[in-house]
Amino acid sequence: MGEQRPLVMLVDDDPSVTEMYRLGLEMEGFRVSSLNDPQGLGLALDAEIPDVFVLDWELGSITGGDVLDRLRTDRRTSAKPVFMISNQPEAADEDGRTARAGALAWLIKARTTPDQLAGRLLEVLPPREASF
């Protein structure tokens, strides 16, 4: 059986951002499932549960915090690592609910390259065994 590359679910309503991170993460060895509309999250999770989530804060009518709350109440995703990524400063989450819900970090898009994001993701994922 071959090595399974980790799956990242990237939720961002800006298609250019999702494409940039998707391409960069794939170059770093990840598989990427991207959603530009968080309403499709349920169907995406029915297809495959990712190893880690990256959520934008501003997602149109809802926030990344709303999506994180939903992930934490779903038994399939309640313990999965989640990173917030946004152009907004962490202060956008005024009540601190993303930290309380277990988001591991708040990353600023303008300062986080795809390879830097890959490094952060690898820090929280279990090491994968190579197959020969």
Q: Report the sign of the C-alpha dihedral through residues 101, 112, 29, 127, in that order.
A: negative
The residue to which tokens 């999506």 are assigned: 67
pLDDT of 2 strictly over 70: no
1 in a domain, yes or no? no
Q: Which domain holds residue 104?
A: 7-123
Q: Is 96 left (phi over 0), alpha (psi -120 to 50) or beta?
A: left
pLDDT in tens, 84-105: 999 888 777 777 878 888 899 9
pLDDT of 1 strictly over 60: no
131 in a domain, yes or no? no
Mean pLDDT is highest, among 3-12, 28-37, 95-104, for: 28-37
132 in a domain, yes or no? no
Q: Given pLDDT bands bounded at 50, 70 and 90, which one contains residue 13?
A: very high
How confident is the model at residue 4, as a pLDDT? 84
Full strand arrangement of the beta sheet holding 82-86? 31-35, 7-11, 52-56, 82-86, 103-108
Rounded to whole angstroms, what are the CA distances from 96 to 35, 79, 84, 92, 111? 24, 19, 12, 9, 21
User: How many folded domains does the chain comprise?
Assistant: 1
How confident is the model at residue 122, as a pLDDT? 94
pLDDT of 14 strictly over 60: yes
pLDDT of 132 strictly over 60: no
The CATH number of residue 29's host domain is 3.40.50.2300
